[in-house]
Amino acid sequence: MRKIAIIGGGPSAVAVFLQLVKRKAATEIVIFDVNPVGFGLGFSSHSASHLCNTSACVNSIDVDDEHDFLNYLRSNGWSVNAEAFVPRYVVAQYCRERFLRYAKCGDEQGVRTTHTPMIVKGVRPHKTIRQLEIRTSEGSHIVDAVVICVGARGKADFSRMQTDGFSFDPAISTARPFPAEQLLQYARDKQHIAIIGSKLSAIDAAISLCEAGKNVTMVSRSGHFPSVRTRLAKLPRNPFFRSGEPPRRAFDFIHEINSVLKANMAKASKASGHAARSLNFDILSAESGNNIWQEYVADIIDSANKYLSEAPARTREKIKFRTKHLISRYISSIPLSNAKKLQQFCEKGTLRIIVGNAHQFRRQGEKICFGPMDSPHYCDGLVIADGTINPAIRREHGELRVSFASLPEFHETLSIEELNSAGIWLSGGLSASKFPIVNYLKFSVDNAKSIVDDLIRKS
């Protein structure tokens, strides 16, 4: 008898669940999530305009079948190639359908699946038996092992905006980028809307609002859009690396990436200084196939997670710092079709992007204003889309808790190895302390296999 708990119910959790069922690694699986299983934050948008920025070929949640998502799409009548960027809601419905399929499959094999819609307060070793106790809002559950798959959360640090002595209640005066229908409802009686952020969720919000006829100002620290790609796919043998594969040593790896990107960045820098010009350059590069950097992205993510996870924490942090620009501009680049929409809105004058941050926002009467005090910009709505925050594990009163606060002490007190030996595994955003790029579905799917390998080995 082996009872395994999965805490969290997003795509990472479904990937683990699939592996547990397929490999008969549990007799009972309990999934704890207050929301239905299968729908995570990353794929929570219902809008057909909000596209994945990863190609369909890397979105399979079945590690044993890399074409699973493509086959799902095709069986539902989608005429898409492997490189296509599909709407995110399709990935969410795919995850849900796969969960239902494998729950049924498990049931036929004698694997019982339960979804427990409760908040998990903490996990601790049981006092008398070699099992784990999961404490929820409504009681305790005893299990043999726990896989924690709690995903990222939208930042909600409104305190940064309560400046300048103005009374400001951002919780009721602002909107989040998703769901799109709530955003549009919020924007219904507004004309000028500011969006804090210029990355993926901010871009989705900008597209939705501009399509609804609103004037949008994006405010971000960079004042630029991410670069543009036509695919994020994994090549069987990447011709851009000298040996066909990324170098195995962390510093060699970074060195090689930087040297490859140098040429592209040199060209891009000529267009920099002006967001729209830079966007036009990136669109032209993508259309003409000159954005060769895009062929590296999948390998960069895989290799970074593979090799850098083995490097000491300080080295990892150093490399992450050195590649920050690379990650924000290239790894988080956007699909060409979305970039062209942004371009159209910029040309039409309904969209602009400026350098700024959340500190600059304040309330003036009925209006929200930002920018210099002597010549502020005004808007009547504000969307907060400045990214997500990964969770971390902390130890408190003898039990482990998931937290979204910054917790450096985690590194000093608990290692992933220590957790594993206690019967606890981490997936998705929670493993950010070890793996540099975790907000990528394929990483979670690959990780799910390693986790279940470990679980089987240690059972």
Partner 1 sequence: MKVALVNPVSSGNSLISAFEDFGCGILSISSDGISLPDGTSYQHRSFDETLNHLRAASVNHVLAGSEYGIALAEQLAHALELPTNDMSIQEARLNKFSMFERLKSEGVQVAPFYSVAHESQLDELIRAGLKYPIFIKPKASAGTDGCLRCENHVDLTNAFLKISKQRNLLNRINSEVLVQEYIRGTQYIVNTVSLGGHHLPCEVYRVRIDEIDGIPVYRSIVACDIDYTDATIQQAVAYVETCLNSLGICNGAAHTELRMTENGPSLIEVNSRIMGPALYVDAFFNAFGYSQSSLLAESCVHPERFKRRFVLPKKMKKHFAMVYLRNGQSGGRIAGRSGLEIIRRLPAFHSLVKIPSLGGSIKHPLLTTGEFGIAYFAHHDLPLFEHSLNVLHALEDEGRLYEVV
Q: Which stretch binds partner 1 (CB under 8 A): 206-214, 291-299, 351-359, 380-388?
A: 206-214
Strands (E), 149-277: 153-154, 174-175, 192-196, 215-220, 228-229
Identify the sign of the CA torsion 10, 11, 15, 17.
positive
> For residue 141, what are the β-bridge partners?
134
Q: How many residues bind partner 1 (CB under 8 A)?
A: 27
| Residue 47 touching partner 1 (CB under 8 A) | yes
Q: Which of residues 128-147 bind partner 1 (CB under 8 A)?
A: none
Question: Any residues with CB less than 8 A from the CB of 430 and at least 6 apart, and which?
Answer: 148, 149, 150, 390, 391, 392, 393, 402
| Residue 49 touching partner 1 (CB under 8 A) | yes
Binding partner 1 by CB under 8 A: which of 212, 271, 389, 407?
A: 212
Least gap, CB of 200 to partner 1 (angstroms): 17
Order of strands across the sheet that contains 362-364: 362-364, 367-370, 377-379
| Residue 181 touching partner 1 (CB under 8 A) | yes
Least gap, CB of 35 to partner 1 (angstroms): 8
Give 78-139 as a DSSP string. ----TT---BHHHHHHHHHHHHHHHHHHHHHHT-EEEEE---EEEEEE-SSSSSEEEEETTE
| Residue 92 touching partner 1 (CB under 8 A) | yes
| Residue 203 touching partner 1 (CB under 8 A) | no
CA-nearest of 251, 270, 252, 333 to 297 is: 333
| Residue 96 touching partner 1 (CB under 8 A) | yes
Query: By C-beta, is 6 or 455 nearer to partner 1?
Result: 6
Q: Which of residues 213-242 bind partner 1 (CB under 8 A)?
A: none
Query: By C-beta, is 181 or 245 nearer to partner 1?
Result: 181
Identify the sign of the CA torsion 16, 18, 20, 23.
negative
Q: Which stretch binds partner 1 (CB under 8 A): 53-61, 173-181, 238-246, 448-456?
A: 173-181
| C-alpha dist (Å) from residue 328 to 71, 228, 280, 324 | 31, 12, 18, 6
Phi, psi of 364 (to 5 degrees): -135, 100
Query: By C-beta, is 184 or 389 nearer to partner 1?
Result: 184
Q: Which stretch binds partner 1 (CB under 8 A): 22-30, 91-99, 236-244, 254-262?
A: 91-99
Least gap, CB of 310 to partner 1 (angstroms): 39
Quick count: other Cβ atoms within 10 Å of Cβ 419? 18
Least gap, CB of 49 to partner 1 (angstroms): 6
| Residue 201 touching partner 1 (CB under 8 A) | no
| Residue 10 touching partner 1 (CB under 8 A) | no
Q: Report how far residue 141's alpha carbon sits from residue 125's, in angstroms, rounded to the nearest whole number.
A: 11
Q: Report how far residue 442's alpha carbon sits from residue 357's, in angstroms, rounded to the nearest whole number.
A: 32
DSSP state of 359: G
Least gap, CB of 338 to partner 1 (angstroms): 14
Least gap, CB of 94 to partner 1 (angstroms): 10
Give 280-345 as a DSSP string. HHHHHHHHHT--TTHHHHHHHHHHHHHHGGGS-HHHHHHHHHHTHHHIIIIIT-EEHHHHHHHHHH
Least gap, CB of 9 to partner 1 (angstroms): 10
| Residue 100 touching partner 1 (CB under 8 A) | yes
Least gap, CB of 225 to partner 1 (angstroms): 21
Least gap, CB of 365 to partner 1 (angstroms): 22
Question: What string marks each residue from 69 to 88 as x (binds partner 1 by CB under 8 A) or -?
Answer: -------xxx----------
| Residue 313 touching partner 1 (CB under 8 A) | no
Question: Any residues with CB less than 8 A from the CB of 188 and at least 6 apart, and which?
Answer: none
Least gap, CB of 428 to partner 1 (angstroms): 20
Helix (H, G, I), strand (E, B) or coil at 361: coil
| Residue 38 touching partner 1 (CB under 8 A) | yes
- Where on the chain is the footprint of partner 1 (CB under 8 A)? 36-39, 45-49, 76-78, 89, 92-93, 96-97, 100, 179-181, 184-185, 188, 208, 211-212
